[in-house]
Chains A and B, each alone.
Chain A
Amino acid sequence: MTHGSRMTRGSRGINVPALARVEGEGGIEIVVSDGQVTQARLDIYEPPRFFEALLRGRRYTEPPDITARICGICPIAYQMSACQAIEDACGVAVPEPVRKLRRIIYCGEWIESHALHVYLLHAPDFLGYDSGIHLARDHPDIVGRGLRLKKAGNRLMEVIGGRSVHPVNIKVGGFYRAPAVAELRALLPVLEQARQDAADTLAWVAAFDFPDFERGYEFVSLRAPDEYPITEGRVVSSRGLDIAPAEYDGHFTEFQVRHSTALHSVLDGRTYLTGPMARYSLNSARLPADVAAAARAAGLGATCANPFRSIIVRAVELLYACGEAVRLIGGYQPPDPPAVEAGPEDATGYGCTEAPRGLLYHRYRITADGVITDAKIVPPTAQNQRAIEADLRDFAAPRLDAPRERLTRECEQAVRNYDPCISCAAHFLDLRVSQS
């Protein structure tokens, strides 16, 4: 079996120039000296696309369509954080039916993205295959289940958004068109099947072998009063942070490093982790009883600090998202009108939602004429770079005597634990418009 990325061997460490089964372009370099890991780097060389600079001077209604193009795998996350931030600047709160419809389509994105990662990108690591396609040759029924689940998420996004990649129906204030009740109800059989598939997925991944590895993470996610966080909430951490999205910049700092075209980020100077494992660990008490019971049956406690087990957490979130979509569709009333008016004001607005990979922060400054004068976007994978590097360092250090090919493969897996979306992460280097 040829293992993916070119691997260079040498006494000095591990070098994976091109990671496979991640979204975007990156590599790993671990430098070893005198039997010690002296450096562990996630190299990101994805070319920057300068979105934040390009948004300046454009209309305040454009970010949902423009920022969707940052990521084809989580466009709804970008559209939702953008809408929330601009609505905040406009001083508008969307009514409950709009909020619920947004949550339904966001569930679709979680289902699609998590199914893609669990089945096609991550599970092959645990089972010794190069890809989900190779896996399908031996286990067509299992991969078929994953594809069916993924398709259910896509279908949900298509019915509400028009298409699953860069949906066209989302706008500042709500939607262009509210789907009819019958359109969403027609999806219920598909989603019920998806819920069963998610439950089977959870049982499947819970039986994988996981390396014995935990770290003392500071988890960061949204937290909402009485639901698992997707579309809104306060930004909280496992070390006591509890702030509104508008206070984000007072605590989170981004900085440039030479080996990445994505900015690194710290929370009050500390490395932190965002994403499914953080969401779960900070919000497992907010899961419905049936999902919480399934998580326990899969071996999860109230928190999870083994990044290799994040595949179980994703499966729990798949189960939650399927059930949440079914629940919300059951009570769906089309928002009327589908969108509220949101007129521009001379203000700055802030938005935070939970992308499949974690916290996604948007900030826009707009004028009363509706022109964007400043934009800041902080995607989850950029925030997780330091946590990934710390994982690599701590994982590799006690395993340097392992066969190098195996260790290299496991280090790649340690990166894939994060479902890194490098296309997202790398497109922001522009905005540190620090003119100093």
Chain B
Amino acid sequence: MTVPARARAAGREPGGPTLAVWKFASCDGCQLTLLNCEDELLAIADSVTIASFPEASSEVLPGPYDISIVEGSVTTPADAERIRAVRGQSRFLITIGACATSGGVQALRNFTDDLAPVVYASPEYIDSLRTSTPIADHVPVDFELRGCPIDKRQLLEVIAALLAGRRPNVRAHSVCIECKRAGRTCVLVAHGTPCLGPVTQAGCGALCPSAGRGCYGCFGPAPGWTFLPFGTAEPVRKEAESHDAR
């Protein structure tokens, strides 16, 4: 997770680096997290040139762009092409959220039979891939920000780091450590509630254990952590390792 030189250069351009926000298959919640930075939004708009953000603005400036923020997963042949075009005009590409970094909830389809022929009244109108895949399966990604949705503080840290030309300070430990630091009662130990906190990427602030429920893993696997102590199957461990590798 190092910041390439081309990104470090971005912040020095006159007028501020250009920023583009792209949507693929998603719920819009991670883009909304940017608009939910109510106290910082106008300052961000002063620090960068928002060149393309269709959800928020009718103004679209032509590329190339210094920074592209990508939400959503690739689920159609057209989007598999579009993400290459986005990469081609982006100096620095960061993916935000579970859809863009792991395929998202719609990747449940990857484990099912092809439903299309039985499911659609007119399946020929639909052009959808059998799988939902993360952006990094298609193009090189410079930084991945996890979460379903992403955490606002982590997003601000990534943007600030990009502008300052430094590496984002996004910790790679688990929700379990966040939970301990927050002084929460362990739901697993105290109540026997199954909890994915020990193996899930930190960033949410241990929200679920704070509400008395087990973590359900919406930030994805934490780097360096393994599911093996949970006695889970080999493919799960490999999935965790493949995330580590990125």
Interface residues of A (CB under 8 A from B): 1-5, 18-25, 46-51, 53-54, 65-66, 69-73, 75, 116, 120-121, 124, 130-134, 136, 140, 143-144, 147-148, 150-151, 154, 162-166, 168-169, 171, 175-177, 255-256, 258, 261, 412, 421, 423, 429-435
Contacts and interface: CB of A to CB of B under 8 A. Distances in A.
B57 A47 contact: no
B189 interface: no
Which 8 A-B residue pairings sit nearest by Cβ, starting from the closest?
A: A72-B29, A4-B58, A131-B57, A130-B59, A49-B106, A151-B38, A165-B149, A147-B38
Secondary structure of the A contact surface, majority rule: loop
B219 to A, nearest CB: 12
Given A65-B216, A147-B39, A166-B148, 16 more contacts: A1-B59, A21-B56, A47-B79, A49-B106, A50-B115, A54-B109, A72-B28, A124-B58, A147-B42, A151-B38, A166-B149, A176-B213, A256-B120, A261-B126, A423-B28, A429-B120
B83 to A, nearest CB: 13
B207 interface: yes
B58 A21 contact: yes
A70 B106 CA distance: 10
Contact of A154 (B29, B36, B106): B36
B194 interface: no
Size range of the interface on B?
35 or more
Contacts of A75: 27, 29
B29 A165 contact: yes
B75 interface: yes
Interface of B: 23-33, 35-36, 38-39, 41-42, 45, 50, 53-61, 75-76, 79, 104-106, 108-109, 112, 115, 118-122, 125-126, 128, 132, 148-149, 204, 207-208, 210-213, 216, 218
6 contacts: A47-B75, A48-B128, A72-B26, A121-B56, A256-B125, A432-B119
Most buried by A among B35, B79, B132, B218: B35
Contacts of A423: 26-28
A150 B38 contact: yes
B135 to A, nearest CB: 14
B75 A49 contact: yes
Nearest to A422: B28
Contacts of A154: 36, 38
Contacts of A23: 28, 55
Contacts of A175: 211
A69 to B, nearest CB: 5
A186 to B, nearest CB: 17
B129 to A, nearest CB: 9
Secondary structure of the B contact surface, majority rule: loop
A116 B35 contact: yes
Nearest to A75: B29
B184 to A, nearest CB: 11
B25 A47 contact: yes
B56 A120 contact: yes
A140 B130 CA distance: 47
Given A49-B75, A256-B125, A168 B207 contact: yes
Contact of A169 (B76, B105, B108, B211): B211
A147 B41 contact: yes
A48 B126 contact: yes
Contacts of B125: 256, 258, 261
B108 A133 contact: no
A165 B36 contact: yes
A131 B58 contact: yes
Nearest to A179: B211
A388 B140 CA distance: 40
A121 B76 CA distance: 28
A375 to B, nearest CB: 13
A164 B149 CA distance: 9
Contacts of A131: 50, 53, 56-59
B76 A47 contact: yes
B105 A69 contact: yes
B105 A54 contact: yes
Contact of B109 (A50, A162, A164, A434): A50
A79 to B, nearest CB: 13
B60 A133 contact: no
